[in-house]
């Protein structure tokens, strides 16, 4: 059996991060099966109300595409720039014809792999942070292999951010992408 590559480990840490945040937020998290993975979905989140700031839906689903990177992102107008590989995945995330909202969650890890996780008697720490963005309604890409997307710095994927996102969707406020001028 071959050991995991650093890229495999990064991906697994993104799943661990997603599960930890979802669990603490009281949200179910299921890893997608092979067919959904082929459609650009890595996980499905399900939350139940009451949600922050109310809402008329009592159950909310979100599908998630996960990415992890050690590359330090460029900061552009209050966002982090991220090059999303795979135009088919980009197109699936930007589609407005989907009933279940989809988001991209990117975990930014330290460059040095020895800093990814720290364990003490008091804590298990996964270093750095994840951010989310909805690409719904984003413009069509002119590229064939990758497209730069912008994750707002105020859309941290943490417990409060996930609860707030669930609340928005429960009110029928499905997030859309906002193009960023460089």
Q: The pTM is what? A: 0.93
Per-residue pLDDT of the chain in tens (182 residues, 90 and over written 9): 788 899 999 999 999 999 999 999 999 999 987 767 667 799 999 999 898 887 899 999 999 999 999 999 999 999 999 999 999 999 999 999 999 999 999 999 999 989 998 989 998 888 889 999 999 999 999 999 999 999 999 999 999 999 999 999 999 999 999 988 76
Q: Distance between CA atoms of 36 and 34, rounded to whole angstroms?
A: 6
Domain boundary assignment for the chain: 6-170
Rama region for 87: left / alpha / beta (φ>0; ψ in -120 to 50; rest): alpha
CA dist list (Å): 172 to 103, 129, 144, 178 = 15, 27, 33, 18
């Amino acid at each position: 059996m071959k050991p995991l590559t650093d890229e495999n480990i990064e991906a697994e840490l993104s799943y661990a991060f997603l599960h930890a945040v979802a669990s603490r937020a009281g949200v179910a998290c299921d890893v997608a099966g092979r067919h959904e993975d082929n459609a650009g979905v890595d996980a499905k989140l399900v939350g139940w109300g009451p949600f922050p700031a109310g809402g008329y839906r009592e159950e909310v689903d979100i599908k998630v595409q996960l990415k992890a990177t050690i590359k330090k992102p460029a900061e552009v107008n209050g966002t982090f720039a991220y090059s999303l590989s795979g135009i088919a995945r980009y197109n699936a995330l930007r589609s407005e014809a989907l009933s279940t909202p989809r988001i991209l969650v990117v975990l930014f890890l330290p460059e040095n792999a020895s800093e990814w996780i720290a364990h003490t008697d008091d804590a298990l720490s996964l270093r750095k942070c994840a951010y989310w963005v909805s690409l719904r309604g984003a413009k069509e890409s002119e590229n064939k292999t990758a497209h730069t997307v912008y994750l707002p710095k105020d859309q941290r994927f943490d417990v409060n951010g996930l609860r707030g996102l669930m609340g928005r969707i429960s009110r029928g406020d499905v997030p859309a992408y906002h193009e960023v001028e460089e």
